[in-house]
Structure 1
Amino acid sequence: MGPRPTGDGSAQPQALETGTRERVKQTVSEHGPITAAELAQRLGLTPAAVRRHLDCLADAGLLEEHEKAPTEARRRGRPARAYVLTEAGHADLREDYDTLAADVLRFLAEHAGPGAVTAYAQQRAREVAERLARDMADAGDDLQSRTEALAAGLRREGYAASMRPVAAGTPLAGLQLCQGHCPVRDVAAQFPQLCEAEAEMFSDLLGVHVQRLASLAHGDHVCTTFVPLPEVRTTKTSPDTSERDPR
């Protein structure tokens, strides 16, 4: 059983501790490199309390020390210990942004209707498509080369994207565009309009109708999009009827 609530709110110390730690992390992201003393002043906490949270975040690999340029008052002695987010800290912070993004889209849907979310998803897809089109500009007309260039562009957008041929030499031959990571996965799970707009964007960029086979947002391990290759026409020999008399 959990702790019983009391009138003074002491039943939720862990929640308060976690909330304060998130504030510390957020402030470091906005103002880092920043010292413990500067953090304490900004957050209205004691330096000792701030250092406890900084140590916990550093132990978790979310913060690291960074040498800060000395101010006029600190020309002598050791440089002040300042903190910045690590790559893991940035990734952890993006999860907070996912929650905010989902809240914003939910508000948009409730006050402007689901069509507003669709319009946003399409606008976002158009903006991403403009950047991807530049990545694909030198790929030529070959569909496989264009799909490879699309995957490379998606990697620069934060997707773990790759391409591989499937069913080569058969009528079902095509390419699979795979995305092992999607930066908007959690939001797209609540708002599938983002996935739908993305698939339409792939079709427009590649000039063929693609088919989404699996999606991280739907609980699959990877987003998989099938890109059909142009059908190879073979010349069939017609039966020789020159010697036949239809009469």
Structure 2
Amino acid sequence: MQHVQSETVVPSLPADRPASSARPDTAAPVTTPSSATRGFSGTQGFAGSPHGRRGPAGSTHGTGTASTGTTLPETESRTRDRVLQMVLELGPVSAADLAKRLGHTPTAVRRHLDGLLSDDLIEVKLVRSPGTRAGRPARQFVLSRAGQATLGDDYLGIARIAMRELDRIGGEAAVDRFIGDRVDDLGRRLAPAVDAAGDDIADRVRALGAALADEGFAGSSTTVNAGPMTVMQLCQGHCPVQELAAEFPRFCEAETEMFAGLLGVDVRRLSTLAAGGHICNTHVPTGRAAVRVAPR
């Protein structure tokens, strides 16, 4: 069966919003911090090495077997595994950045990326450079849901068991407190960039989108003309706890509350990846001055 590559465009608008009414303001930069401090307390770095893990549809990754059924030389297989691991840790990340970090040519890295795309282990996100509103968006790569399942089975399974056990022992209040602590930790890391943007709501939204991008969420912001009031949409094209949030939606609720506190205005969630949305999309009114709320 011929593989059809799925691409996600960031930023995006809900289906009921005309594309002509928006202009992108920020998007994810290529340079990213260590995975140990990104996302919700470094959740992207919890998954182990891909060596020897089973891939989707019965394929084996890390053992030298390509999607075509042919056997790759050991060095090729090792490079493929390293590419996959770095997409896990750094995504969204470009082929050029991967090549620079791995010490390989962009052509060699793209060959492995094409193979991983064919195996549905990664997917493409099209993002614009910060501050640009025109031109061709850059192709950057993140793990797909199948890739997350392949590399993250240990983390996701253990995390689900732990969350369910916490719920059994401590009840909903304990789960909410745990999630709140994780989201508050993320909020404290985002706050300096947002506060440095000043009191203008639009500037704070742009700063928050860029800070989320640095944290590995493929963050961006979009200005939307909505009648007499100008509003913005804060977009996230990637979520490191997407599967957990699907079972425990409090992750999304707490994050929305954290955004409101950082921006100083009431915000409304339009869609989430965890609920099956194309992106996480947060509606932010920009018609009034920010009321700063210190992170807990």
Taking structure 2 as the reference length, the TM-score comes to 0.51
| Other-structure match for 1:198 | 255
- Structure 2 counterpart of 1:54, from 52, 63, 80: 63
- Please tell me the root mean square deviation across aligned C-alpha atoms, in Å: 3.3
Normalized per residue, the structure richer in helix is 1
Shift of 1:96: 4.0
Which SS does the other structure have where 1:173 is aligned? strand
2:125 maps to 1:129: no
> Any idea what the Cα deviations from partners look like across 1:148-177, whole Å, max 9, x if unmatched?
110111111111111111125x33421101
Which SS does the other structure have where 2:240 is aligned? coil
| Other-structure match for 1:102 | 160
Output the CA distance in 2 between the equivalents of 1:28 and 1:64: 17
Distance 1:95 1:175, change over 3 A: farther
Shift of 1:87: 3.9
- Count of residue pairs the alignment pairs up: 172
Output the CA distance in 2 between the equivalents of 1:64 and 1:226: 50
CA contact (8 A) 1:213 1:223 kept: yes
| Other-structure match for 1:86 | 82
| Other-structure match for 1:171 | 228
CA contact (8 A) 2:229 2:287 kept: no
> Any idea what the Cα deviations from partners look like across 1:71-110, whole Å, max 9, x if unmatched?
xxxxxxxxxx977942423454235422322221111111
Amino acid at match of 2:225: A
| Other-structure match for 2:215 | 157
| Other-structure match for 2:169 | 111
Output the CA distance in 2 between the equivalents of 1:175 and 1:64: 50
Which SS does the other structure have where 1:226 is aligned? strand
Output the CA distance in 2 between the equivalents of 1:157 and 1:198: 14
Output the CA distance in 1 between the equivalents of 2:162 and 2:279: 26
Output the CA distance in 2 between the equivalents of 1:96 and 1:59: 27
Gaps of 5+ in 1: 1-24, 30-38, 40-51, 67-80, 233-247
CA contact (8 A) 1:64 1:86 kept: no
Output the CA distance in 2 between the equivalents of 1:27 and 1:222: 27
Shift of 1:136: 1.9
CA contact (8 A) 2:62 2:78 kept: no
2:238 maps to 1:181: yes
Distance 1:105 1:57, change over 3 A: farther
Gaps of 5+ in 2: 1-46, 53-60, 89-142, 290-296
Structure ranking higher on relative contact order (CA contacts 8 Å, 6+ apart): 2
Work out which of the two has the higher radius of gyration on C-alpha atoms and give 1 or 2: 1
Which SS does the other structure have where 1:137 is aligned? helix
Which SS does the other structure have where 2:64 is aligned? helix
Mean alpha-carbon deviation: is it higher for 174-183 or for 200-209? 174-183
CA contact (8 A) 2:48 2:152 kept: no
Distance 1:26 1:197, change over 3 A: closer
CA contact (8 A) 2:219 2:237 kept: yes
Shift of 1:28: 6.5
- What is the percentage of aligned positions where both structures have the same residue? 39
2:178 maps to 1:120: yes
